[in-house]
Amino acid sequence: MFLPWFSRKAGAQRPAALPPGLRVYAIGDVHGRADLLRELDERIAADARGGSAREMRTVLLGDYVDRGPDSREVVERIVRGRLGGLPTTCLLGNHEAMLLRFLEDVAEARRWLTYGGRATLMSYGVPAARGDATDAALGALQREFRDRFPSEHRDFLARLPRHASFGDYFFVHAGIRPGVPIERQNDTDLIWIREEFLASSDFHGRIVVHGHSYKHEPEVMPNRIGIDTGAYATGRLTCLVLERSDLRFL
């Protein structure tokens, strides 16, 4: 059942909406939970079969790797595209950005490993480094991961966009900088911002649909919708379904 939505801004005469005939399925942070993504893929496909929208598409909000056990399988699945059998847009998350930086700069190793990179290494068959690994050991780790990380995966992640827009909604991994027009946002904020964005009650010109900031339940706020429900820890991967001025969750 569709849930009612709110006014797009103070004094607005219509709710936030997608263009007529369009349905969007937006998926929160997967973090290596290929099992949950497989299940959600099937649920989206079944849900779409019962829809009447002329156009349907899926948007993934980033953070496909790290923390969960099956980052490689997740990346392989999204590289193939068409989640739920639909045209699919995949956005860059901060965890993909760290992985790509590690491939180029070994100085990123310790931060990435702290943020869950060990699980990604193991999913690609690379033994995880110890927390007290030497610089030489980290360099060897980087070289082995470069050898094992498929070029198709690397090229795919490197091409990911930072945001997407449909109707009155702006889709992004982390959020936006309050007070800065959407068209002037910088890439770092789009994939990393947290407290300043979450604390803001400003209307940003569009409703921002984001992941990155883990809550046990989806957050539906007047200016944003957060759908990172901590899949790697909770076993709950959330999909927001938008159509016309309505929303619901899978």
CATH of domain 22-249: 3.60.21.10
* Model confidence band, residue 246 (pLDDT cutoffs 50, 70, 90): very high
Query: For the segment 160-215, what is each residue's pLDDT rounded down to a tens digit?
Result: 999 999 999 999 999 999 999 999 999 999 999 999 999 999 999 999 999 999 99
Query: For the segment 131-167, what is each residue's pLDDT rounded down to a tens digit?
Result: 678 999 999 999 999 999 999 999 999 999 999 999 9
Whether pLDDT at 59 is above 90: yes
Distance of CA 43 to the CA centre of its chain: 18
Contact (Cβ atoms closer than 8 angstroms) between residue 18 and residue 166: yes
Whether pLDDT at 31 is above 60: yes
Q: Cα(205)–Cα(184) distance, rounded to whole angstroms?
A: 13
pLDDT at 119: 96
Give the residue extent of every domain in the chain: 22-249
Q: Which of 250, 222, 240 is nearest to 15 (CA)?
A: 222
Question: For the chain, what is the mean pLDDT?
Answer: 93
Q: Which of 18, 242, 46, 241 is nearest to 250 (CA)?
A: 241
* 50 dihedral zone (left: phi>0; alpha: psi -120 to 50; beta): alpha
pLDDT at 13: 47
Element (H or E) spanning 137, and its range?
Answer: helix 135-148
pLDDT at 2: 37
Residue with tokens 């050898």: 147
pLDDT at 5: 41
Sign of the C-alpha dihedral, residues 101, 106, 112, 116? Answer: positive
Q: Which of 162, 37, 161, 142 is nearest to 100 (CA)?
A: 142
